[in-house]
Structures are given as structure tokens and as C-alpha cells.
Amino acid sequence: MLEIKNISKTIKNKKILSNVSLAVENGQTLAIVGPSGAGKTTLLRIIAGLEPLEQGTIVLDGQDVTSKVATQIDGKVAVVFQDFNLFPQYTALENVALSLKLVKGQDKNMANQNAQKILDQLGLEGQINNYPFELSGGQKQRVAIARALALNPEIILFDERTSALDPALSSNVADLINSLKNKQITQIVVTHDMEFAQKVADVTFTLEAIK
Amino acid sequence: MNYLFEILPSLLEGTKMTLNVFFVTLLISIPLGLILSIPLSTNNKILKPFIEGFVWLMRGTPLLLQLIFVFYGLPLIGIVFERYGAAIFAFSLNYAAYFAEIFRGGFGSIDQGQVEAAEMLQMKKAQILRYITLPQVIKNIVPAMGNEVINLVKDSSLVYVIGLGDLLRAGNIALSRDVSLLPLVGVGIIYLLLIGLLTFGLKRLENGLNYYR
Ligand SMILES: Nc1ncnc2c1ncn2[C@@H]1O[C@H](COP(=O)(O)OP(=O)(O)O)[C@@H](O)[C@H]1O
Ligand SMILES: [Mg+2]
């Protein structure tokens, strides 16, 4: 279980989060919904360890991990960024294979095979040799998901794009998130789209903007 | 025309020195500029102001002055360089300063999200530099670097003042010996050829890096 307790965050003298608490069971999907500017991305970044925390605790399976940045929790946490942050100089396949090579120490063949497997599962078999600039928004998002899955994370943090994906795409992403449930991956999905949240979430948490 | 072929060997001899100064300077100043740019891109309280001062000094005074300072000035306080060493020393430091600024700008233009994505994938700092940021920086700075590299070909003629036997000196020796304008024309043609070749190579490199956006 991942527990967030009493988190507050101020950026540049502006209070963004005030005493936020939430919890999600292993293998469950939590949707965080709220209007634009409510602090959803900030909250996700704090959980990922990308944003220093001034107050509150983060507990993972009973262990206090507040002081550890996520990068120190052995790749347990993966992020699908709002803008995907794919590496532009690498193909879809290389984007996924890179961490397998550099972090897992797999040789090139092995890493490419494993990366290809993940991309195939996400319906990207036709795009593996495309560079990010050659991919549509939805394809980029799936490559970002594939890249996040490469290191077998226990938790995926998913920052859904604010600009609405078209309905067909959005329902694709929902299917994808639901398929990850079968893999026992805990997911936190940030979205401003209530309907989308209802499709994917076991639990929904609403974040209100601070006036 | 025959005369030009007669003096060609001595001009080529000078070209060798010009190319030597050019390549050795690049070999030292590019890595040095990269190293200097790393503290420049951070908030390092000690190193950053120090390097900024160095860059300011190197870019704020003429290279010719620096060259004369190293070869004729420093011996007065007991630091003696031979001609070649003085040239390489002055050129490398001067160009490292320019390259450091270019690299700093290149690193500044990298989206921080790229680094964060790599961090979340557990990559180490050195891996992030080698595989993620540096390739993007290089793509961004090739045009600016290209300008400096072309300048270096021409700047290398400044070694004339400390008596190093470069292309310009070879031409000038022939000029005063034979009282003819042609050696200088020959020198000009060789510089044009060198820079033409370099421009072509840089264009190819730029195109080669354009496989992604
Ligand atoms: N680095 C930052 N500097 C200044 N303001 C920021 C920064 N990061 C976030 N904010 C502000 O924090 C608020 C919440 O942002 P964000 O977490 O991106 O909200 P959401 O993802 O819900 O749209 C916004 O008002 C935003 O302007
Ligand atoms: Mg957001």
C-alpha cells in the first residue's frame, strides 16, 4: 500500500497543496481528478521524488520513504509524464530498450527483444523504428507507457494530458490502464476528465484548487 | 603559375603548422570547454564565478594580446614557453572559453523533463550526460561551434607575431624574397580551400544530425 499523509507544498510563496492525504492498495488504480491548476502534477511529482517535500510523509508497504527520492527506491516507481518526455534522438524501440541496456545491463539483442515485446503488447509493432517526431500524440503516449513498463515497476504514475485526447484514443488509454491492472501494477492516474477517471479507477480522489 | 608551383612546397610546409595549431587547439579546447561548462550550468558558488571570470577575461581581451602576453610577457616573470607551446597554450585557453559559453547555452536549452525522465529510469548522472543530454546539446550547438571552428583557421595566422612558421609566414617570406604579390594570393587560396572543406564537412555533420527533431 502507498500512503500519502498530510502533504503540503508551497512553490514561490504560493500554497499549491495543503494537507493532502490519500492511499492506494497494491494493484489498484487511483484516479486523482481536479481542475487545471489544482496541483495534480505537483502531487504526482512529489510522489515520484522529483519535487522536494516540505511537510508530510510517504509510506510504501509500511516503510517510510519520505526522505528517499523515488530514484532510490530501485525503479519501483515509473512515471508517464504529461508531455511524455520521450528522448527525441532515439527510436520508439531505443526509448524503451535504453534503460534495459544501461540499468539492467542487458546486451543489445536482449534489450531490443524485450523492448519489442512490450511495444507489441501496446499495439506499436508498426512504429518501433519511428522517432518521436514521427509519432502521433496517442502513439507517443503508448511509447511513454512502454518505456515506463520496461523496468517492471510496482507503481506507475500517470499524468494524463490536459489537452483532451480524442474520445477513441482516450478509451484506448483507458483499456490500456485496465490491462495493467491484471499485472498487479499500482497506478495513480492524474486527469481532469471525470468520465475517464470513472472508467479506470478503483478509487477516486478529488483535488480542489486552493483559493 | 609556374612560380606558384615553385613556392607551393614552402606554402604547404606552412599549412602543416597552421593545421597542427588548428587540430591541437581543438583537441584541447573542446573537452576543456565542455568541462568548464558543467559548473557554469549549475549554481556552484565557488567554481562558477571563477570560471565566469576566466571566460570574461578570455573573451574580453584580444587573442593577439593574449598570445603576446604568453610568449613575450610571461618570460619576464620567469614562465618561459617555446613558440609552439605558447601558441597552443594561448589558443586552447581562449577557445575553451568560447566553447564553454557555447556548451553552457546548449545545456541551458535542454528540457529539464529529459533529465527527469532519465532519472526515473534509474540512469546514472554520467549515463544521462552521455546518452541523453550531450547528444541533444551537440545537435543544438553544431552551427555555433562551426562558426568558431572556422574562425580558428583564420585566427591561427596570429601565431605569425611570435614567429611560428605557419602558412601566413611562409607566404610573407616568399613575398619579401621575390618581391611578388603572388605568394599572398597563394596563401589566400589555401585558406579558402581549407575553409571550404571545413564548411562542407560541417554542413554534412549538421545534416547527419537532422535525422530527428
Ligand atoms: N515550478 C513552478 N513555479 C511556479 N508555479 C508553479 C510551478 N509548478 C507549479 N506551479 C503552480 O502550481 C499550481 C498547480 O500546478 P500543477 O500541479 O501543474 O496543476 P495541475 O496539474 O493540476 O494542472 C499552478 O497554479 C501552477 O501555476
Ligand atoms: Mg498537470
Chain B residues closer than 8 Å to A150 by CB: 121
Residue B10, domain extent: 2-211
Please indicate whether, in this complex, the C-beta atoms of A70 and B111 are within 8 angstroms of each other: no
Distance CA(A166)–CA(A196), nearest Å, equals 12
Give the confidence band of B33 by pLDDT, cuts at 50, 70, 90: very high
Q: Is residue A162's pLDDT more than 70?
A: no
**H or E element in which residue B194 lies:** helix B182-208
CA nearest neighbour of A88 among A138, A140, A146, A158: A140
pLDDT of residue B96: 98
In this prediction, residues A37-54 reach a mean pLDDT of: 89
Ligand 1 centre to CA of A78 (Å) is 21
Interface with A, mutate which of B112, B122, B132 (most A CBs under 10 A):
B122
Domain range annotation of chain A: 1-76+154-211, 87-152
| C-beta atoms of B121 and A88 within 8 A | no
Residues 6+ apart with CB under 8 A from B171: B11, B14, B183, B184, B186, B187
CA of A34, closest atom in ligand 1: 22
Q: In the predicted model, is pLDDT for residue A186 greater than 60? A: yes
- CATH number, domain at B186? 1.10.3720.10
Q: What is the mean pLDDT of residues B137-155?
A: 95
Mean pLDDT of A165-187: 77
**Reported ipTM exceeds the 0.85 cut:** yes
**Structural contact between residues A173 and A148, judged by C-beta atoms closer than 8 angstroms:** no
Domain count for chain B: 1
Distances (CA, A) of B147 to A114, B86, B93, B202, B206: 43, 24, 17, 10, 13
Q: Kindly tell me if the per-residue pLDDT of A35 is higher than 80.
A: yes
Residue B20 is predicted with a pLDDT of 96
Place of cell 564537412: B201
Q: What is the dihedral of CA A54, A59, A64, A68, to 10 degrees?
A: -60
Residues of B within 8 A of A148 (CB-CB) are: 120
Distance from C-alpha of A69 to C-alpha of A155, rounded to nearest angstrom: 14
Q: Minimal Cα–Cα distance from B135 to chain A, Å?
A: 8
B64-101: pLDDT as tens digits: 999 999 999 999 999 999 999 999 999 999 999 999 99
Q: A89 pLDDT exceeds 90?
A: yes
pLDDT at A170 exceeding the cut of 80: no
- What is the structure's pLDDT at A25? 92
pLDDT at A164 over 70: no
Say yes or no: B117 contacts chain A, CB-CB below 8 A. yes
- Domain A1-76+154-211: what homologous superfamily? P-loop containing nucleotide triphosphate hydrolases (3.40.50.300)
> From atom 1 of ligand 1, which residue's Cα is the shortest distance away?
A11
